[in-house]
Structure 1
């Protein structure tokens, strides 16, 4: 999905420093919703979340297999909000992790060292919101 066409306001909203929430589905159905930092590659239509490979969100995405897990990534600032829906896959390759860490540092701050870090890579399929 080309998110560049959504305009400058959308792009700026996803560059500003906001915490997000990531919703994944537990095997028994209820959502697992946690706060995360996220970055968005507008041209590629990919959002990224760095996390520990042992986290519940990483384990839920990994358990979904190579097709990935359906997720929703949301951020809100007052009346402005945006939700990105798509499929998340787990990436553990060193170059993928390093790239995601650089993107995270650009939006938030340098992440603390974490040798078990992985990336949840979300291919965006739908956008909701007013931002």
Structure 2
């Protein structure tokens, strides 16, 4: 599937800019789900969500172990309103991509993310957007 680059409803776009956390679901090598709270950004124009984390974190390892077919989901909720972003994910430590992830995170959350020495970014090519009450 190609990334979703179509225009989101203005209410959905606004919801995804609020400084909420999301539940990030990856699959462990044995196929069981691993869910963790994260902060993330979403670039609707590029259809790309980004999560910064440590290279040694379970979520990064799960994505790397899944190879090019690794699928993940991010679900941001506030009461009975929610948006889920699904897609294929990759992990990178490319300096330009990390800088863009940090820049967007800082804008969304008003402070830079933690910067451990093994910082990486999980990039999600979003191909499905689900929502309720937006």
TM-score, normalised via structure 2 length:
0.92
CA drift at 1:62: 1.1
User: 2:51·2:121 contact (CA, 8 Å) conserved in 1?
Assistant: yes
- Segments of 5+ residues of structure 2 without an aligned counterpart are none
Please give the residue correspondences for 1:114-129 in structure 2 after superposition, counting only pairs within 5 Å: 114-129=116-131
Residues 1:41 and 2:43 are matched in the alignment: yes
SS of residue paired to 1:49: strand
CA drift at 1:112: 2.7
CA drift at 1:43: 0.4
Alignment-derived partner of residue 105 in structure 1: 106
Alignment-derived partner of residue 70 in structure 2: 69
Please give the residue correspondences for 1:56-95 in structure 2 after superposition, counting only pairs within 5 Å: 56-65=58-67, 67-95=68-96
More displaced 10-residue stretch of structure 1: 109-118 or 5-14? 109-118
Q: Distance in 2 between matches of 1:9 and 1:22?
A: 22
Q: Distance in 1 between matches of 2:113 and 2:31?
A: 32
Residues 1:14 and 2:22 are matched in the alignment: no
RMSD across aligned positions (CA):
1.1
CA drift at 1:111: 1.7
Deviation track 1:92-124 (CA, whole Å, cap 9, x = no partner) reads 111111110111111112123322100000000
Q: Distance in 2 between matches of 1:114 and 1:20?
A: 21
TM-score, normalised via structure 1 length:
0.94
